[in-house]
Amino acid sequence: MATEITYQGGVPDIMHYESKIWSVADLLIGQSVKQSDFPNYMMPFFGLMMVEGRMRNYMKRVEQEDGFTPKDNPEDFKEAFLLHDCGWNDYIVMQDKTLKKVCSNDKTFEQDFARYLDGFDSDLKRLLGINRGKDEDKFLGMDEIVANLRSKGILLQVASIWSEIDLAPYSNSDITTLEEHIKRRWADISASTAGEQYTPDDIISLISEIVGALINKPKGEYLHLYDPTCGGANLLFGTADRLRRQNGYELIATYGSELNDKLYALAAIESRFRDEAQICYGNTLTTIPFRGKSFDVVVANPPYGTTWKGYQQEIRHDETGQFAGGIPSISDGQLLFMQHILWQLDDKGIAVEVHNGASLFSGDAGSGESNIRKYVFDKDWVEAIIQMPQQEFFNTGIYTYLWIMNKNKPNTAHKGKVALIDGSKGWQLLKKSKGDKRREMTEDNRKAIVDALLTFEPSDICKIFDREHFYYNKQQLTLTELDADGHSVCETVCADGKPFDITKDEASYSLDADNDTIVHTKADDTKESLGCGDIKVKETRTKKGLKRKVQIMPRLTKDYEIIPYHFDEAANRKEIDDFMAKYIFKPFTLGDDTIGVEINFNKEFYVPEPVEPVDDILAEIKELDKELGEIEL
C-alpha cells in the first residue's frame, strides 16, 4: 500500500512556477487558442508532472529503505516499488526516462514521448486520458490535447516547458493551489466554473484545527474522513495531513467524491499515493458512492448558487432519506449537500462545511430552505457558525461561513446552544493577490476562533444563543378597516355577500378607501387598496354603450406578522397573544402559524455608530450661527 510522503521544508514557494506556466499561454495565444480553453491544455500536464514527481519520490524511498536500485537490483526494486501500490510506468521507474529527458532530444522526441505515455498502468492511463476507448470518459484528456498541440506544431515546446516544473517536493494542497490560481487567471472564471470554490490553505488549516479540537475519537482507532464535493481533494487530503501531523491521528482513511471529470482525475491520481484513500466519480447526491457508511469527520466546500435542475427528478424521488429536512430552491443545491453530509455523519461525528450567506437566511418560513434549517436546529446538530473574512477565495469576494455540525455536543453548556463567531476581521493582506483572494488568516487569527469555540462564552467575537433564538412565528391574520361608525367595508358595501351593483347612464362609481363611502370616478376598471384587502370596481356596458353597470366587490386578504417563537407551546401562544394586544388595533382573525428559522449575522453583530451628544451639537450650531453673523454681505 502507498504511504504518504512527508514533504520537507526548504523548497521554494510553488508559485514561482507561475511565470513558466504562463509562458505556455503565450504559445497557445500564438496558435489562436481561446483563453477559456487554456485550462484544458493545462490540466493534463499538471496531472502528468504530479504522477511523475510522486513516482520519483517512491523510487527514492525504495532505494533508501530497501537498498535496491533499478540498475543493480531490477527485480527486487520492481517488487518493492509495486508493494506501495502507487501506480506504475516502466519507462519512468525502471529506465529513469523523465519527461525532461524525453524532451532533451528533438529527433527522438515523438517516439520517446509515445513510449513515456504508454508506460503508465491502465488505471493511470484512464485518469490521464491516454489511449482512451471510444465510449470511455476522457477525464484529463491527454490524447486530445497532445493531438491538438502536435497539429499546431508546438507539442515539443509545451512539453519541454512542463518538464522543467518539478512537483515532487510539493503536497497536493500546494499543487492544487498553483493549478487553481493559473486556471482562474487563464479562464477568468468561465461559466463552467461558476460556483466552484477551491478552498485556500489558511481555511483548510482553520477547518483542521476546529476538527482537531472537537473530535474525541481515540488515536489508536481509524479516523474516517469524507468530502462529498472533493474537487482536486486539497481540502480532504489537507485536513487528513494536518490531523495526522498536528493531532497524532496516524490511522486516517479518506473518502471523496467529485463530479468534475478533470478535478476527479487529479484527486484520484493523488489517492494512488496514499494509504486508505478512495475517490469516486459522479454526482454524490444521486450516485451516493458510500451508501451505508458513516464517517467520523466530514469536511466540504459544496458549490453554491448552482442549480440542480439537471437531476431534480432523482432528488425529488430519492428514497434513501438523506433529504429528511426538505428540498431547497432549485437554483441552489448547497443545502442538499448539508443534509447528505449529516445523513452520512456518524452519531458522534463532526462536520465542517463552507457555505455562502444564502444558507443562513434564504427562503421564507415554510420554504424548503427554512425547513432544512429548522430540521438541523431541531436536531440540535449546529454547534457554531463562523463568519469568514471577505476576499478569502479565488473567485469570489463575498462573505463565507463555516457551519460547525456536531452530533454529539460535549456537555450541557453546549446542548441547545449555538455560537455565532465573527472571524471576519481576523486577516492580513496577501503580499500578492491570487485572483479575488487578497486576504488570509494568520495562525493567531485562527487560534482566536478556535479558542472562542472551545471556551463557548460571550466575547468580542463570540455570541452564544439558545437555539430557539433563531426561530420565529410567521403568523397569518386577516385585518379589516373600519368606517367612522365602526363598520367594516364588507358590512357596509356587501353585507349580503353579493357584489354591490350601480347602474347609471352617464357615470360609474368606486369606493373611497379611507371611509368606505361611494365616490364619483371615471369609467374604468379600478382596484383600491383597503387594509389587508382590496376593492375591485368592474364596469360593463350594454352593446350600444348607452348603459353602464358598475360592480363593487370588496375583498379581504391575509397578511402576516413575524413574532418571536418559543419551544414551549403555552409560552409561544402567550407571545402571539401579547403581540396582537400590543400592536394590532383593528378587528382580526388568526390563520395558520408557520415556524421559520434564519440566522442574521449582521443584526446580531451590529454596532451602531456613536451619536454625538446633544449639547455638543447645540454648541456647534451656536458657533456656526456666530460665524454666519460675522460674515459681511
Per-residue confidence (pLDDT) for residue 185, from 0 to 100: 67
Within 8 A by CB and 6+ apart from 121, the residues are 87, 88, 89
The DSSP bridge partners found for residue 300 are 353
Q: How far apart are CA 620 and CA 223, in angstroms?
A: 67
Q: Write down the pTM of the prediction.
A: 0.83
Given a contact cutoff of 8 angstroms between Cβ atoms, the answer to whether 297 and 238 are in contact is no
Residue with cell 379611507: 514
Residue closest to 124 by CA, chosen among 109, 102, 144, 139: 139
Per-residue confidence (pLDDT) for residue 619, from 0 to 100: 83
CA end-to-end distance (rounded Å), the chain: 93
Given a contact cutoff of 8 angstroms between Cβ atoms, the answer to whether 301 and 199 are in contact is yes
Q: How far apart are CA 576 and CA 592, in angstroms?
A: 12
User: How many Cβ atoms from other residues are within 10 Å of residue 65's Cβ?
Assistant: 10
Q: How far apart are CA 429 and CA 441, in angstroms?
A: 9
Q: How far apart are CA 25 and CA 30, in angstroms?
A: 8
Given a contact cutoff of 8 angstroms between Cβ atoms, the answer to whether 80 and 62 are in contact is yes
**For the domain bounded by 194-460, which CATH number is listed?**
3.40.50.150
Per-residue confidence (pLDDT) for residue 492, from 0 to 100: 62
Largest CA distance in the chain: 115
Q: How far apart are CA 274 and CA 456, in angstroms?
A: 36
Exposed/middle/buried for residue 276 (C-beta within 10 Å: 0-12, 13-18, 19+): middle
Residue closest to 126 by CA, chosen among 115, 137, 110, 111: 137
Cell numbers standing for residue 163: 518538464
Per-residue confidence (pLDDT) for residue 184, from 0 to 100: 67
Domain ranges of the chain: 14-170, 194-460, 472-599
Per-residue confidence (pLDDT) for residue 191, from 0 to 100: 35
Our CA dihedral for 616, 621, 627, 628, rounded to 10 degrees, sits at 170
Per-residue confidence (pLDDT) for residue 252, from 0 to 100: 97
Q: How far apart are CA 295 and CA 161, in angstroms?
A: 42
pLDDT along the chain (633 residues), means of 10: 49 88 90 86 93 93 92 93 90 94 95 95 94 82 95 96 94 83 60 55 94 93 96 93 94 96 93 93 96 97 90 95 96 95 97 94 95 98 93 73 93 91 84 72 92 95 96 90 63 57 44 42 46 65 64 70 96 95 85 95 82 81 81 65
Within 8 A by CB and 6+ apart from 512, the residues are 518, 519
